[in-house]
C-alpha cells in the first residue's frame, strides 16, 4: 500500500505521522512545494520509527510528483490556513488554484488513487476535485464531517463527563462555521440518548461550540488546528486501506440523496477499499431538513464562485 500526503504543513505532517504510527502503508510520501520542508519532516518522522516501532517508509519530496507514482490513496492538505477572524470560505481564491493543480499532478502518476480532500473551503474544494478530475464520484472524499463529528463528541464528553470514545454522534452538512449541523437528536452515549442527560440549554451550547470548533482553535492558536484534522484524515485512510467499511460523515457527491444534487456535502458514508462505498440516507426531521437545505444553498453559492476565478 502506498499513500501520499500533499502539503507538509501542520495538518499534512500530523496526518502522515498518524498514518506511519499505525503502519497504514508500506510507503508514505510527503510532498510540499516549499524546498526541503517535506524531506525534513519525513526524516524527522523516520527518526521516530526506532522509538515507536513502525515500519512504514516515509520519504519527502519538494514538488516532484513522480515520487508519488502508484499511490493508492492521496490526502490533499495543500493551501493556506485561515487566520483568526477569517472564515474558511475566504481561502477560496488562493486554495482553488492550488487544489486543482495538485489533483492534475497526482493523477498523472496515480490514475487509480482515491483522493481525500482536507484543504479549505473543504466542501467547495471537494466539488472542485470531482469536477476537475472527472474521477468516479466514490474516489473523491472530503474529510470535514469526520473532524466535526469528533469535535462534537469532544464537546458532548465535556458536558457528560464521559469518554469521547463511548459516544456516537454525527455532524452533517457543510464544513463551515454556520453550515455544519450537529445532529444532537441522534447522539448516544453507548446507545443511551444523550438528550436524556442534557438540558435544552446545554444541548444548544454543545451544538454552538461544535460549529465554531475550528474558529475557536484558530483564535487560540493564531492559525488553524492540525491534530484533529490530521487524525481525521488518517482515520479515513485507515478505513480505506484496511477496508474497514466504517461509517463516517464525509463530504461526497450527492445525486438526489437528502434531496440534493450537483453538490458535495457532508453525509454519513461507508468508507472502504473503493473509497466511499455507500451513502446512508436516513430520515431527517423537518427542522433538520431545513438546516440541511440552507447549508446546501450556502455551499452551492461558494461553488459558484469557482466559475469566477
- Output phi, psi for 134, to 5 deg: 65, 20
Say whether 239 counts as a known binding-site residue. no
Say whether 21 counts as a known binding-site residue. no
Closer of 139 and 151 to ligand LMR (Cβ): 151
Please answer whether residues 207 and 148 qualify as being in contact, where contact means their C-beta atoms are separated by less than 8 angstroms. no
Say whether 70 counts as a known binding-site residue. no
Scanning the structure block, which residue is given the C-alpha cell 459558484?
Answer: 304
- Distance of closest approach, residue 139 Cβ to ligand LMR, in angstroms: 22
- Distance of closest approach, residue 145 Cβ to ligand LMR, in angstroms: 11
Q: What share of the chain is helix, strand, coil (3-state, %, to 5)?
A: 50, 20, 30
The single residue of 41, 100, 139, 175 carrying the catalytic annotation is 175
Closer of 41 and 88 to ligand LMR (Cβ): 88
| Contacts of 232 by beta carbon, 8 Å cutoff, 6+ apart | 118, 143, 146, 147, 150
Is 175 an active-site residue? yes
Closer of 25 and 181 to ligand LMR (Cβ): 181
Say whether 119 counts as a known binding-site residue. yes
For residues 199 and 167, give the distance between their C-alpha atoms in angstroms, rounded to a whole number: 18
- Distance of closest approach, residue 218 Cβ to ligand LMR, in angstroms: 5
Say whether 8 counts as a known binding-site residue. yes
Closer of 46 and 86 to ligand LMR (Cβ): 86
| Contacts of 61 by beta carbon, 8 Å cutoff, 6+ apart | 29, 30, 31, 32, 38, 39, 67, 68
What beta strand segments (E) does the chain contain?
2-6, 27-32, 57-62, 73-76, 114-117, 140-142, 167-168, 171-173, 180-182, 188-189, 192-193, 246-255, 261-272, 275-279
Residues that bind ligand LMR (CB under 6 A): 82, 88, 120, 147, 214, 218, 224-225, 229
Residues tagged in the binding site annotation: 7-12, 32, 82, 88, 95, 118-120, 151
Residues tagged in the binding site annotation for substrate: 82, 88, 120, 151
The catalytic site residues sit at 175
Amino acid at each position: 500500500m502506498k499513500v501520499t500526503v500533499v502539503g507538509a504543513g501542520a495538518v499534512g505532517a500530523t496526518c502522515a505521522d498518524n498514518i506511519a504510527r499505525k503502519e497504514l502503508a508500506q510507503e508514505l510520501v510527503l510532498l510540499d512545494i516549499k524546498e526541503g520542508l517535506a524531506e525534513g519532516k519525513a526524516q524527522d518522522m523516520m527518526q521516530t520509527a526506532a522509538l515507536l516501532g513502525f515500519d512504514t517508509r516515509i520519504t519527502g519530496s519538494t514538488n516532484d510528483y513522480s515520487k508519488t507514482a502508484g499511490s493508492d490513496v492521496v490526502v490533499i492538505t495543500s493551501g493556506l490556513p485561515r487566520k483568526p477572524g477569517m472564515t474558511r470560505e475566504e481561502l477560496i481564491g488562493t486554495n482553488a488554484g492550488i487544489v486543482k493543480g495538485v489533483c492534475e499532478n497526482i493523477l498523472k502518476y496515480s490514475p487509480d488513487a482515491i483522493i481525500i480532500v482536507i484543504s479549505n473551503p473543504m466542501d467547495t474544494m471537494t466539488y472542485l476535485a470531482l469536477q476537475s478530475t472527472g474521477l468516479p464520484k466514490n474516489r473523491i472524499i472530503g474529510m470535514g464531517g469526520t473532524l466535526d463529528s469528533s469535535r462534537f463528541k469532544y464537546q458532548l464528553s465535556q458536558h457528560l463527563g464521559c469518554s469521547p470514545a463511548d459516544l456516537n454522534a454525527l455532524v452533517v452538512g457543510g464544513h463551515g462555521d454556520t453550515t455544519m449541523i450537529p445532529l444532537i437528536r441522534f447522539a448516544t452515549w453507548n446507545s443511551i440518548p444523550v438528550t436524556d442527560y442534557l438540558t435544552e440549554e446545554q444541548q444548544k451550547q454543545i451544538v454552538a461550540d461544535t460549529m465554531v470548533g475550528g474558529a475557536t482553535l484558530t483564535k487560540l492558536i493564531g492559525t488553524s488546528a492540525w491534530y484533529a484534522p490530521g487524525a481525521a484524515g488518517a482515520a479515513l485512510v485507515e478505513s480505506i486501506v484496511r477496508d474497514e467499511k466504517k461509517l463516517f460523515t464525509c463530504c461526497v457527491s450527492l445525486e438526489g440523496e437528502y434531496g440534493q444534487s450537483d453538490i458535495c456535502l457532508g453525509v454519513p458514508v461507508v468508507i472502504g477499499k473503493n473509497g466511499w462505498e455507500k451513502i446512508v440516507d436516513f430520515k431527517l426531521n423537518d427542522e433538520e431538513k431545513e438546516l440541511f437545505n440552507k447549508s446546501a444553498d450556502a455551499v452551492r453559492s461558494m461553488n459558484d464562485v469557482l466559475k469566477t476565478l
